[in-house]
Amino acid sequence: MLQQFFTTLLVSLYSLVQDLGLSIIVMTILIRSLLLPITLPTLKARKKLENIKPKLDKLKKKYGKNKKKMQKAQMELYKKYNINPLSGCLPQILQIIILIGLYRTLNDFLNQSQIQGLIIKPNFLWLDLTKPDHTYILPVLAAIIQFVLALMIAPGGEVRDIIPNKSKSKKKQQENKEEEDTAEMAKTMQQQMIFIMPLMTGFVAAKFPAGLALYWVITNGFSIIQQYFVSGWGGLEKYLYRIKLKLNL
């Protein structure tokens, strides 16, 4: 049903503009705009959680392994700052379902030359949207935009410190070393994913029809604008600061 709705919408847009690429761009922006009432509360909730992270870390330090006291203090902190940690789950699931439906619609659409009696011309700029972009312009652009988005939403580089570093107990010192090793490994994995995801996006976009690559470029570009208005440049800010220092801006 959802896929049929998207197909009808795309056919209607194509009937108006007579250009498949523009139809995909308009539909992607339209759908993402309609999803704003769902996505914005999720992003704002995530931002609130990031803002109170130092306070959560202090609670973890204070209560250590006492889970009951920690949970109680954590819930009181959430209540104080009006945060529901589960508020983003349902909207996120709904958003994923809608975006999967949109993706499938485009995939089916690009594999047919005629839909609902309408003959589809697949050309857009230099591209045949039903075939991979062999100039690699869209795949590279998709990878770059994915990289920028990944940097923006990347968590801070803070390392959680539950076990005191200055403890003289050998057992505590060993636990502290294990804690630091785990934190370092998690941080390394996060940094690797920042680079791996754009590479995967670029590789897949180069193999799939150019129409899907165009969709990824537009939808992730929309996500960057959306993320900026909610939380600014986020994790990208420190890199922009370094660039400004080097350029003496």
Can you give the pLDDT at residue 25? 93
Give CA angle at 131 (129, 134), nearest 5°. 105
Predicted confidence band of residue 50 (pLDDT cuts 50, 70, 90): confident
If DSSP codes are grouped into helix, strand and coil, which group holds residue 114?
strand
pLDDT at 127: 85
Our measurement of the distance from residue 93's CA atom to the centroid of its chain's CA atoms, rounded to an integer in Å, reads 13
Instruction: Tell me which residue of 22, 30, 39 sits closest to 102, measured CA to CA.
Output: 30
- Which residue from 202, 200, 225, 235 is spatially nearest to 28, judged by alpha carbons? 225
- Kindly report, residue by residue over 169-222, the tens digit of the pLDDT: 655 555 555 544 444 544 555 566 777 888 888 898 898 888 888 988 998 899
The SS3 call for residue 110 is coil
Q: What is the pTM of this model?
A: 0.69
Please state the rounded mean pLDDT for residues 54-72: 75
Residue 167 vs residue 100, higher pLDDT: 100
Q: Long-range CB contacts (< 8 A, 24+ apart) of 51-60?
A: 51/81, 52/77, 52/81, 52/83, 53/156, 53/158, 54/158, 57/158, 57/160, 57/161, 60/160, 60/162
H or E element: which one contains 128? strand 127-128
C-alpha distances (whole Å) from 183 to each of 58, 116, 168, 178 are 16, 55, 21, 9
Q: Residue 140: is its pLDDT beyond 90?
A: yes
Residue closest to 59 by CA, chosen among 82, 81, 76, 46: 76
Residues 6 or more apart whose CB falls under 8 angstroms from that of 4 comprise none
Predicted confidence band of residue 90 (pLDDT cuts 50, 70, 90): low
Please tell me what DSSP assigns to residue 163.
Answer: S
Which pairs from 12-15 meet CB under 8 Å and 24+ separation?
14/118, 14/120, 15/118
| pLDDT of the residue at 170 | 55
Question: For 53-57, what is the mean pLDDT?
Answer: 76
Question: Among 24-33, 74-83, 162-171, 210-219, where is mean pLDDT lowest?
Answer: 162-171
Confidence category of residue 87, pLDDT binned at 50, 70, 90:
low
The Cα 247–Cα 249 span in angstroms is: 5
